[in-house]
Structure 1
């Protein structure tokens, strides 16, 4: 599967690099632009806003074009934006942030849907989709040293120029693959009936079993995890006196736990005969997230805190893999739209989590953060119960609608 999907996996990794470079070299980038670090860092929020708006607005169109061509368009936008960012001009760096957010809002759901489309609507499709998300989590863990080492020779501007070259080369690959690919799922949908209008696409997506609760879970999970990560360094410094050098190992532990758990969950839940259903795995992941996020803020022993950090990252990876697998398997020919809205909701979750976590910390300290994040996970558990209730026979029905030949 990895050999077949290598362009998709490579493109998913490249898609994370522009903002990784921006975050890693925020201080020298601000100096080059003649701006303060706070002002320059604030531009990162423009990317999240653009991802939210573009991802939601273009969701119905992801399934109306070949996924390879949509991915190629996203890569071209990423390549052009990276070239703008390499200039070091403040205005162009603002454009860089906006365009990277918009480009990834198209690129990521297109790549995930393209990977799934090669394997129909069954469990193999879910495994392919989670392989893409696992690659992204691995890249997020390793990207800093990957961009830091080359930058020793050509600086952060050289990193962005390299991203431009890689993105444009991959875009050419996807254009060629789009031409050679047999008629995709969007063409099959056209043969089966009249194409839905823009607003009707949203309504039809909302009527699919369990899709709305799954999208809500993704938003809430992201809010919890990203809000928790936003204050993790401060907590470790305050509670355990960990300096940035030692905290780097904590960050690696969290990233490695997420990657391994995401990869294994995709394999286990999408096996031909899984020992545990995806819906039940979703519940277990959320229960573990609830225990770990509430217990973490009351720990005063470093080994226990590290165990909680690892468990919390792993539990979120389980939930993320289950959500993607279920969206792919339940949405059929509308999976691109569902994944696009899912990505937009997670962009919103980043802002919600940081804001609510900060509010909890300001009002009641670390117990306040435990209460806020615990309440969000509890709400996600309630939504997961609805997903379980709508799960009976859903996968089989989706597989039947797509056809037995898709697996080949």
Structure 2
């Protein structure tokens, strides 16, 4: 599967690199632009805003064009934005942040849907989609050292120009693969008609369990990203860990997320899983609730590290289950739209999680943060109950149909 999807997996990794370069070299980038670090760092929010708006607005369109073309266009925009960012000009860096957010809002769901489409509508499609998300989590963990070594020779500008070159080459690969596939299927039956713009939203709302899944994706991201936003401050205040030592904590969290995401994708999409994906989703949310609440009341470093690993692993379980269920329930005609809305909800979750976590911290300290994030996970568990209910209704419908056929 990885060999068949290598361009998709590579493109999903490349999509994370521009903002990784921006975050890693924020201070020298701010110096180059003649700006303060705070002002330059604030531009990152423009990317999240663009991702939210573009991901929501263009969600139905991803299923109305070949997903390879959507990915190629997003890669071209990403490559152009990286080249603009390498200029070091403040205004162009603002455009860089906007374009990166907009392009990744199209790129990520297009790649995930394209990977799933290659393997149909069954569990193999869900496994292919989670392989893309696992690659992204692995890249997020390894991207900083990967870009740091080349930057020793050509600086952060060279990193961005390197992203431009790779992104444009991959765009050409996706266009060529699409044209080759068109030639191979030119004699097949015509494709099914695509839904209209508004009809796509209506059709998604009518698919059982999809709206609760999108809500879970939003709430999960709000909790995890809000938790990560204050993770370094917590370890420094409670355990006196400096930035150098905290880097190992960050690696622990990233490794736990990657391994758990990869294994969950394989287990839940196997031929005979021990737990259904819906029940695995509930298990992940319960683990997230226990770990996020327990973490903020922990005063023993080994236990805090265990909670950090458990929390990352539990979120990886939830993320993999959400993507798998969206892919399976929506089919090839709607999965791109649903994945795009899921990505837009995650962009919104980043802002909401940081804001609510900050409010809880300001009002009641870390116990307040635990209450806020715990309440969000409880809300996600309520949505998970609706997802499980949708599965049970599907099973009853299948049994009824079987009885009708037999009679």
- The answer to whether the 8 Å contact 1:329/1:395 transfers is no
- The answer to whether the 8 Å contact 1:151/1:158 transfers is yes
Counterpart of 2:110 in structure 1 is 110
* Superposed displacement of residue 275, structure 1: 1.1
Counterpart of 1:360 in structure 2 is 360
* Superposed displacement of residue 197, structure 1: 2.1
- The answer to whether the 8 Å contact 2:225/2:350 transfers is yes
- Distance between the aligned counterparts of 1:188 and 1:265, measured in 2? 35
- The answer to whether the 8 Å contact 2:63/2:194 transfers is no
- The answer to whether the 8 Å contact 1:330/1:394 transfers is no
Please report the RMSD computed on the Cα atoms of aligned residues, expressed in angstroms.
Answer: 1.9
Q: Secondary structure at the match of 1:119?
A: coil
- Distance between the aligned counterparts of 1:238 and 1:357, measured in 2? 16
Counterpart of 2:209 in structure 1 is 210
- Distance between the aligned counterparts of 2:210 and 2:59, measured in 1? 14
- Distance between the aligned counterparts of 1:195 and 1:82, measured in 2? 33
Map of 1:384-395 to 2, 5 A cutoff?
A: 384-392=384-392, 394=394
Counterpart of 2:262 in structure 1 is 263
- Distance between the aligned counterparts of 1:346 and 1:395, measured in 2? 30
Counterpart of 2:9 in structure 1 is 9
Deviations 1:309-364 (CA, angstroms, capped at 9, x unpaired): 00000000000000000000000020000000000000000000000000000000
Deviations 1:103-135 (CA, angstroms, capped at 9, x unpaired): 000000000000000100100000000000000
- The answer to whether the 8 Å contact 1:210/1:390 transfers is yes
- Distance between the aligned counterparts of 1:215 and 1:39, measured in 2? 32
Does residue 373 (structure 1) correspond to residue 402 (structure 2)? The answer is no
Q: Decide whether aligned partners of structure 1 residues 14 and 374 sit closer, same or farther in structure 2, where only a CA change above 3 A counts.
A: same
Counterpart of 2:155 in structure 1 is 155
Stretches of structure 1 that go unaligned for 5 or more consecutive residues are 399-408
* Superposed displacement of residue 183, structure 1: 8.7
- Distance between the aligned counterparts of 2:189 and 2:290, measured in 1? 43
- The answer to whether the 8 Å contact 1:66/1:184 transfers is no
Counterpart of 1:95 in structure 2 is 95
Q: Decide whether aligned partners of structure 1 residues 108 and 261 sit closer, same or farther in structure 2, where only a CA change above 3 A counts.
A: same
Counterpart of 1:43 in structure 2 is 43
* Superposed displacement of residue 200, structure 1: 1.4
Stretches of structure 2 that go unaligned for 5 or more consecutive residues are 399-407
State the TM-score, normalizing by the size of structure 2. Answer: 0.95
Counterpart of 2:273 in structure 1 is 274
Q: Kindly report structure 1 stretches of 4+ aligned residues shifted beyond 6 Å.
A: 187-190, 395-398
Deviations 1:236-256 (CA, angstroms, capped at 9, x unpaired): 000000000000000000000
Q: Decide whether aligned partners of structure 1 residues 120 and 91 sit closer, same or farther in structure 2, where only a CA change above 3 A counts.
A: same
Map of 1:98-177 to 2, 5 A cutoff?
A: 98-177=98-177
Deviations 1:85-114 (CA, angstroms, capped at 9, x unpaired): 000000000000000000000000000000
Q: Secondary structure at the match of 1:62?
A: helix
Counterpart of 2:401 in structure 1 is none
State the TM-score, normalizing by the size of structure 1. Answer: 0.94
- Distance between the aligned counterparts of 1:30 and 1:69, measured in 2? 35
* Superposed displacement of residue 83, structure 1: 0.2
Q: Secondary structure at the match of 1:251?
A: helix
- Distance between the aligned counterparts of 2:212 and 2:189, measured in 1? 25
Q: Secondary structure at the match of 2:391?
A: coil
